[in-house]
Amino acid sequence: MSESRFEPVISAEACKGCLICVNVCGKKGGGVLEESDERTPMGGVLPTVDGECIGCRWCERVCPDFAISIEEAEAC
Ligand code: SF4
Ligand code: SF4
């Protein structure tokens, strides 16, 4: 049986670096979003992914700028 895999995709152009997504992922999601060393064009902290996203989509729901989306693909 194949499983779905979820990949968080973050738009560096749209993200302001507020880290709301990192917070909600840690509290209600899989805890896979983290602060990176990169800065957004607006001077915030760009999130990064470390670990396996569970596809709960809380980050999508809370991002004020629609800067993060979860892509789904069938894994072999
Ligand atoms: S909630 Fe949205 S704008 Fe804020 S850091 Fe996450 S992706 Fe960027
Ligand atoms: S979908 Fe859930 S587990 Fe995946 S990055 Fe977003 S909040 Fe975290």
Can you give the CATH number for the domain in which 32 is found?
3.30.70.20
Cα–ligand 1 centroid distance for 1 (angstroms): 34
Q: What is the SS3 assignment for 75?
A: coil
pLDDT at 74: 78
Range of the domain at 37: 4-74
In tens, the pLDDT along 15-38 reads 999 999 999 999 999 999 999 999
Range list of β-strands (E), the chain = 4-10, 33-39, 45-49, 68-74
> What share of the chain in percent tops pLDDT 90?
87
Query: Highest mean pLDDT range out of 36-45, 52-61, 66-75?
Result: 52-61
Atom 3 (ligand 1) nearest CA:
15
Counted domains in the chain: 1
In tens, the pLDDT along 2-11 reads 566 999 999 9
Taking Cα atoms as reference points, which of 41, 36, 32, 43 lies closest to residue 13?
41
